[in-house]
Structure 1
């Protein structure tokens, strides 16, 4: 009897620990507000502390995902907790897309309250799902033929990378030299990816990536994963919402109203992202988004390497090296976006 009570208590503690990131996400808008207030008052240490709390939401979700993915036996409850953790990890772009939708509906000043309502509902749903699932069981993922989807996802990724993504991120990297330099490069590149027949194809490819990414992600929740495997699924979940948010902002919020989606628009110039209480949410959104999209590409390359017989240690070494290089690229982009100039 004592063992049963002890096991039940242990399982409850285990589930509660993995609910912590989602509970922390409830306060996400207020952490951002604290960051904005501290930055506006030029209290650097307070601003950095508040930003650390903001980033603690996706960081804690990632720790939860890694822990869950290392379990020797993946149960149905583990899968529920992983779904919640992936959703929590994507908090930065989720808060952005919520804000954009509310702005388009002309609902002002309600972002934090709507966010609180969304997360209260998500947490209630997660806890109900946990309570109605068996305490201990073996999760048996459905057998699916995903190889064709994986290949199409990779081919679409390669097309997006070559035609749009790397030129676009290269353009953003020169933003650290100034908005005028960025605009000069952008006007040249737009002749390629804004061509009348190319742009609709790119949009269709992005939509396909969102759908196919979800198809590939969900079965992985029942599989054991290492650190890079966790980074691949976490970044994929983040990018699903990030891409949807970005497309909505560019094609609905901006172009529909005749706004040029240039560097000044993206970075809130002339005031900058830090100087605006709404735009401040774009800092973690962009910072993590740029790094994660590059990391996701590297993780995808690792999958290809492993499928073609490259040893795990060698594939991991190459992947971590590439992540280190792309992290520098992402750091330059983000530095430029928050106002650093050289």
Structure 2
């Protein structure tokens, strides 16, 4: 029996939908599969750098950065889709987690070090990542059963957004900008950095200010997760919207990792958290097999915190009826300034001096 035109159209529509779903699944899963080898890309970077193979080291660095870069592309593509399904949300969550691979690998390494499990970072990473991938694939496989029942829920995040913004301003004024400014002057020399650091510590390590800052950072982690959750299910997201969400996901883990390293790892062992500690002197970030993971961790972290602030400023401007074209232009200008600032910081951390 020859199928009617309507039946043929239905078949074509079903095949097209299946191919589209398959392509979307590939876009979402591919960065995470690439992320399985993240520890080995870093190890290769360290080995080539030690052997003075500059171009090979740069290629290994590019492969390392390809993990968060491909994840960001995945977040953008998934965020442009017109429909929201449980599988699509699972893929977006996976992409956001993959984007945060640098701080995730750092915090994993610190936890394993504290548990006195040495030399197992890469193996634990692979097992953990395979479990995450399996969980995501299970959601995709069962999507047809639960997809029809899924409903998007609109949350009123306005109060959380305001509180998150107020906490951000407080952190920026009392700690973040002075701290990043301190790191920027390190390009003039370690002694210059230390002199500025000792002055600034009287501010952000004061009796009442330091506990308040810790509480604010913890609040930013929790409130950030609350704000990210509904955006992961959003559709038709622009590039700056995606950058705000992706940078927020990165910073949630980055802040947790940094606080764990400072307040648990360093202070527990009585280590001064100065510039020498942060940059792994005297071997440096590139000269130590463990410290090499801090290069993408810090490099992206500094740039993303400044980009996140710029995107937050854009959100505030849009909420106050500033024309989107002007708000976007100001945001991009702030991102450009943040790029210059973060470049100076990372260059200093890698040993550059003027």
TM-score, normalised to structure 2's length? 0.94
SS class of match (2:289): coil
CA distance in 2, matches of 1:115, 1:125: 15
Post-superposition CA distance 1:35-59 (Å, at most 9, x none): 0000000000000000000000000
One of 21, 24, 27 as aligned partner of 2:37: 27
Matched, 1:53 2:63: yes
Give 1:9 deviation, angstroms. Answer: 3.5
CA distance in 2, matches of 1:223, 1:11: 18
CA distance in 2, matches of 1:185, 1:110: 38
One of 144, 153, 177 as aligned partner of 2:155: 144
SS class of match (2:144): coil
CA distance in 2, matches of 1:137, 1:304: 36
Tell me the residue number matched to 1:307. 319
Matched, 1:279 2:291: yes
Matched residue count: 342
One of 235, 244, 253 as aligned partner of 2:265: 253
Give 1:5 deviation, angstroms. Answer: 3.7
Tell me the residue number matched to 1:329. 341
Matched, 1:182 2:193: yes
Asked if the contact 1:76–1:137 (Cα under 8 Å) also holds between the matched residues in 2, the reply is: no
One of 181, 194, 206 as aligned partner of 1:170: 181
Tell me which moved more, 100-109 or 76-85. 76-85
Tell me which moved more, 136-145 or 163-172. 136-145
Asked if the contact 1:183–1:263 (Cα under 8 Å) also holds between the matched residues in 2, the reply is: yes
Tell me the residue number matched to 1:318. 330
CA distance in 1, matches of 2:53, 2:318: 48
Larger Rg: 2
Write out aligned runs for 1:50-89 (5 A).
Answer: 50-89=60-99
CA distance in 2, matches of 1:141, 1:156: 29
Tell me which moved more, 55-64 or 7-16. 7-16
Tell me which moved more, 76-85 or 39-48. 76-85
Structure 1 stretches lacking a partner, 5+ long: none
SS class of match (2:117): coil
Post-superposition CA distance 1:118-142 (Å, at most 9, x none): 0000000000011111386596431
What is the root-mean-square deviation in Å for CA atoms of aligned residues? 1.3
Post-superposition CA distance 1:301-320 (Å, at most 9, x none): 00000000101111001100
Give 1:287 deviation, angstroms. Answer: 0.1
Asked if the contact 2:24–2:78 (Cα under 8 Å) also holds between the matched residues in 1, the reply is: no
CA distance in 1, matches of 2:197, 2:233: 43
SS class of match (2:201): helix
CA distance in 2, matches of 1:299, 1:122: 29
TM-score, normalised to structure 1's length? 0.98
SS class of match (1:217): helix
Structure 2 stretches lacking a partner, 5+ long: 1-7
CA distance in 2, matches of 1:9, 1:314: 39
CA distance in 1, matches of 2:296, 2:330: 27
CA distance in 1, matches of 2:252, 2:269: 25
